[in-house]
Amino acid sequence: MTAEYFAFLAAGAAAGGFINGLAGFGTALLALGFWLQIMPPVPAVSIAVIMSVCSGIQGAWVVRSAIMDQPKRLARFLIPGVLGVPLGAAALSAFDPQVLKLTIGSMMVLYGGFFSLRKTLPKFERPTPIIDSLVGFLGGILGGAASLSGALPTMWCSMRSWRKSETRAVLQPFNIATLSLAALVFLISGNYTWDVVKQILMALPVTLCFAQIGIIVFKRLNDLQFRRLLITMMFISGAILLMKELI
């Protein structure tokens, strides 16, 4: 492994870890911008999934009390999401993943751009259990079909007037669960060769370290700032996704 290769590997690990610690998602979108320059898509995505899960566990620990306070709310997203993952994977033969990514990327850009320009954000106060479950289910399908499990739940949760810890208490475990399933699928498929495992062992400490830095910044944000951050990240993530698919 050359010094340049290791520099790209470490840079992707740092960027992905920091954004996961800060916002609770986005590891793959940022890390893959570096890793796809030095390795094929399959090992790059396989490594990104492991980084997402491991850094996500740190973030979930930070909001563990909020998770325990609202277990039913989390279950409304998580259970349908887990059920949706295998359906999304099975639907790969029926849908073009590139078209799906372009569609979701466009939605993320429009959503993030629209609400970034608004002075006030929408506030859904009343309970919406059916919508929560539907969003979780669709998020699971998108996770299985295109590794985009967090897109719809993040859009929906950023529109709720929840505290930042409550929002993260839904998004972080949801992403951990769906991406863990993806990692299991990759393992069964034989993606984790010894060479990939070695790169995971090199990237993981960097990811975990920068995730802690992101968590420190997260703790300094107030609830409104965190909602604004999620919306901005939706716009940036959507733009990155579109560029990756179009260029």
Question: Tens digit of pLDDT for each residue in 141-173?
Answer: 887 776 678 888 888 888 888 889 999 999 999
Q: Is 224 helix (H, G, I), strand (E, B) or coil?
A: helix
Please list the residues that pair with 124 across neighbouring strands: 160
- Compare 115 and 133 and report the one with higher pLDDT: 133
pLDDT, residue 244, reads 77
Q: In this structure, what are the phi and psi dihedrals at residue 173, rounded to the nearest 5 degrees?
A: -65, -35
Residue 186 pLDDT greater than 90, yes or no: no
pLDDT, residue 13, reads 94
Q: What is the mean pLDDT of the chain?
A: 86
pLDDT, residue 85, reads 84
What whole-number distance in Å separates Cα of residue 151 and Cα of residue 198?
Answer: 30
Whole-structure pTM value: 0.83
pLDDT, residue 201, reads 95
pLDDT, residue 95, reads 66
Residue 133 pLDDT greater than 90, yes or no: yes
Q: Closest Cα partner for 153 from 233, 89, 216?
A: 233
Residue 88 pLDDT greater than 90, yes or no: no
pLDDT, residue 231, reads 84
Confidence bin at 107 (pLDDT 50/70/90)? confident
What whole-number distance in Å separates Cα of residue 45 and Cα of residue 32?
Answer: 7
Average pLDDT over residues 218-242: 86
Kindly report the length of the chain. 247
Q: How many CA atoms lie within 13 A of 148 on its CB side?
A: 26
Confidence bin at 29 (pLDDT 50/70/90)? confident
Q: Is 160 helix (H, G, I), strand (E, B) or coil?
A: strand
- Compare 70 and 126 and report the one with higher pLDDT: 70
Q: Which residues contact 155 (CB under 8 A, 6 or more apart)?
A: 107, 108, 111, 234
pLDDT, residue 97, reads 66
* Weakest mean pLDDT among 16-25, 40-49, 96-105, 220-229: 96-105
For residues 191 and 42, is the Cβ–Cβ distance under 8 A?
Answer: yes
Q: Closest Cα partner for 139 from 155, 152, 157, 130?
A: 152
What whole-number distance in Å separates Cα of residue 138 and Cα of residue 118?
Answer: 27
CA 102 to chain centre: 17
pLDDT, residue 93, reads 62
At residue 123, what is the residue type?
K
CA angle 225, 230, 236 (to 5 degrees): 120
What whole-number distance in Å separates Cα of residue 120 and Cα of residue 196?
Answer: 45
What whole-number distance in Å separates Cα of residue 140 and Cα of residue 53?
Answer: 15
